[in-house]
Amino acid sequence: MPTEILMPALSPTMEKGNLAKWLKKEGDTVKSGDVIAEIETDKATMEVEAVDEGTLGKILVPAGTNDVAVNTPIAMILADGEDASALKDGKPAAAPPPKPAEAAPAAAKAEAPAPTPAAKPSTVQAPAVPVALEPEVPEGTELVTMTMREALRDAMAEEMRRDPDVFVMGEEVAEYQGAYKVTQGLLEEFGARRVIDTPITEHGFAGVGIGAAFDGLKPIVEFMTFNFAMQALDQLINSAAKTRYMSGGQVQVSMVFRGPNGAASRVAAQHSQDYSSWYSHVPGLKVIAPSNAADAKGLLKAAIRDPNPVIFLENEILYGHSSPVPKLDDYVLPIGRARVVRPGKDVTLVAWSMGMTYAIKAAEELSKDGIEAEVIDLRTIKPMDTATIIASLKKTGRVVTVEEGWKQSGVGSEIAARLMEEAFDYLDAPVMRVCGKDVPMPYAANLEKLALPSVAEVVEAVKAVTYR
């Protein structure tokens, strides 16, 4: 049966083109790869190669023809043993050229159960992500006061004892014992095979960690600070976050990227930035930012076990803060669940990580003025526990968010938008955002203080939304 050569498309957007020239004539022998014609569009000229072997039996579209529609048969190729009699009427024995791009979705429709307008992709509902409940800490459990730094170290050590596939890599994590001493003692216990000092090469070692995770290991990649993770952003987003999806679920990237995030003190613009909202933008990533030792331990253990890539944002100033941690064999907290830290009826303050220090102090100040603030520690930025915020809003009618990050496209903006979309009727005042100022972090002590949020600003925002 003769084979048709169809007018090809140079790009998915091309609909027609000009047949500039035939390089073979009727009766010529052609084999795969032979250039048989040239076609042109307004953008480019392109050669048409034969895919099939045989004899050029008939040219259906002569050279110089303009505006030939894509997929129009332009010539017929005769296979070995066929002669021109197979070309009656200059038409192929085969059916007219298919319109595969349309035929295919039709086939899909036939498969889909009862197609309705609601079945359009744009209206497919994202499945609700189930989140585990906060585990009960048995009454009488001993509480051990420790720093956040120690809690993080204990979390890693416990998980490394539990799972031989877990290892830590990063700058100064081993022999130096951690630039901020978070990995102190790990080299001694687990050895250089599992506690690995890297060169200063964030893009490279982030990629190496992700490659190891492709193969089933469970790396903890420490960034000395998240400021330097900017060098690795492509690997974090394009390789870690998207690979499960791009592989149709085959390849898993079960790993943690952790390190201090946000402003430390007097280290100026390039070393003082909050990345909470940046990473929370990306599907495929989970983002955690704890504010105290117990949450740091329970959530880091959960992050290490999680089958997805987790961005774990710590804070240099909080490393030295001490708080009680339940003394349990295996204290693991659910990712994606906020916690009401302080109950109140007049306003809801939502914060996380360092923002919690402002929120808690502001709540204490406000209490003196007779305003009882409910304080929510978000703990996980993505997936966000909107339900807990809405439940609180239903009580208070007012929400103020607190973060060190910049205002535009910040996490507070996301919370405000969700509350408008999902709980508009419960809002008695606009949601207010207390954020870092819209400037690179200044070095001078007085300016740095001004650039960060303050307790006074939180108090002021609360007074504004409570109309006091």
Partner 1 sequence: MAVAQTTQTAEKASPVAGNGAGPSGAVKIAEFTKEQELQALRQMLLIRRFEEKAGQMYGMGLIGGFCHLYIGQEAVVVGMKLAARDGDQMITGYRDHGHMLACGMDPKGVMAELTGRRGGYSKGKGGSMHMFSLEKKFYGGHGIVGAQVPLGTGLAFANKYRGNNAVSLTYFGDGAANQGQVYESFNMAELWKLPVVYVIENNRYAMGTSVTRSSAQTDFSKRGISFNIPGSQVDGMDVRAVKAASEEAIAWCRAGKGPVILEMMTYRYRGHSMSDPAKYRTKEEVDRMRTEHDPIEQVRKRLLDKKWANEEDLKKIDASVRAVVNEAAEFATHDPEPDVSELYTDVYR
Near partner 1 in 7-36, by CB under 8 A:
7-12, 32-33
Catalytic residue (choose from 203, 271, 365, 448): 271
Q: How far is CA 305 from CA 80, 332, 461, in A?
A: 62, 10, 39
Note whether 205 binds partner 1 by CB under 8 A.
yes
Residues 353-412 that bind partner 1 (CB under 8 A): none
Residue closer to partner 1 by CB (options 50, 371) is 50
Q: How far is CA 107 from CA 96, 115, 116, in A?
A: 19, 12, 15
Residues 285-344 that bind partner 1 (CB under 8 A): 286, 307-308
Residues 35-74 that bind partner 1 (CB under 8 A): 44-46, 49, 51, 70-71
Distance of CA 101 to the CA centre of its chain: 31
Task: State the maximum Cα–Cα separation within the chain, in Å, rounded to a whole number.
Answer: 100
Q: What are phi and psi of 418, to 5 degrees?
A: -65, -40
Q: Smallest distance, Å, CB 144 to partner 1?
A: 33
Note whether 350 binds partner 1 by CB under 8 A.
no
Query: With contact defined as beta carbons under 8 Å apart, do 410 and 433 qualify?
Result: yes
Q: Smallest distance, Å, CB 424 to partner 1?
A: 25
Task: Single out the residue of 147, 162, 130, 127 nearest to residue 332, CA to CA.
Answer: 162
Upstream peptide bond of 113 is cis (omega within 30 degrees of 0): no
Stretch that binds partner 1, among 170-178, 204-212, 287-295, 359-367 (CB under 8 A): 204-212
Q: Smallest distance, Å, CB 434 to partner 1?
A: 31
- The per-residue DSSP string of 182-243 comes to TTTTHHHHH-TTTEEE--S-HHHHHHHHHHHHHTT-EEEEEPSSTTGGGGGHHIIIIIIITH
Residues 120-159 that bind partner 1 (CB under 8 A): 120-121, 124-127, 129
Stretch that binds partner 1, among 260-268, 283-291, 293-301, 443-451 (CB under 8 A): 283-291
Task: Single out the residue of 323, 368, 394, 420 nearest to residue 376, CA to CA.
Answer: 394
Residues 214-243 that bind partner 1 (CB under 8 A): 214-217, 234-235, 238-239, 243
Q: Binder to partner 1 among 20, 86, 144, 204 (CB under 8 A)?
A: 204
Q: Binder to partner 1 among 84, 131, 137, 208 (CB under 8 A)?
A: 208
- Catalytic status, residue 203: no
Question: How many binding residues for partner 1 (CB under 8 A)?
Answer: 74
CB atoms within 10 A of CB 418: 15
Structure tokens at 284: 């495929």
- Catalytic status, residue 202: yes
Q: Smallest distance, Å, CB 378 to partner 1?
A: 19
Close Cβ partners of 204 (under 8 Å, ≥ 6 residues apart): none
Residue 196: strand pairing partners:
169
Q: Smallest distance, Å, CB 116 to partner 1?
A: 11
CB atoms within 10 A of CB 176: 13
Please return the burial class of 261, using the count of CB atoms within 10 Å of its CB with bins 0-12, 13-18 and 19+.
Answer: buried
Residue closer to partner 1 by CB (options 102, 136) is 102
Q: Smallest distance, Å, CB 31 to partner 1?
A: 10
Q: What are phi and psi of 16, to 5 degrees?
A: -150, 165
CB atoms within 10 A of CB 391: 17
Catalytic residue (choose from 158, 202, 314, 404): 202
Q: Are strands 29-30 and 54-59 parallel, antiparallel or unpaired?
A: antiparallel
Residues 154-193 that bind partner 1 (CB under 8 A): 167, 193
Q: Binder to partner 1 among 62, 199, 425, 438 (CB under 8 A)?
A: 199
Residue closer to partner 1 by CB (options 47, 188) is 47
Residues 80-119 that bind partner 1 (CB under 8 A): 98, 100-101, 103-105, 107-108, 110-112, 119
**Binding string to partner 1 for residues 248 to 277, with x set by CB under 8 A, is what?**
xxxxx-------------------------
Q: Smallest distance, Å, CB 198 to partner 1?
A: 7
Note whether 206 binds partner 1 by CB under 8 A.
yes
Q: Smallest distance, Å, CB 120 to partner 1?
A: 7
Active site residues: 202, 271
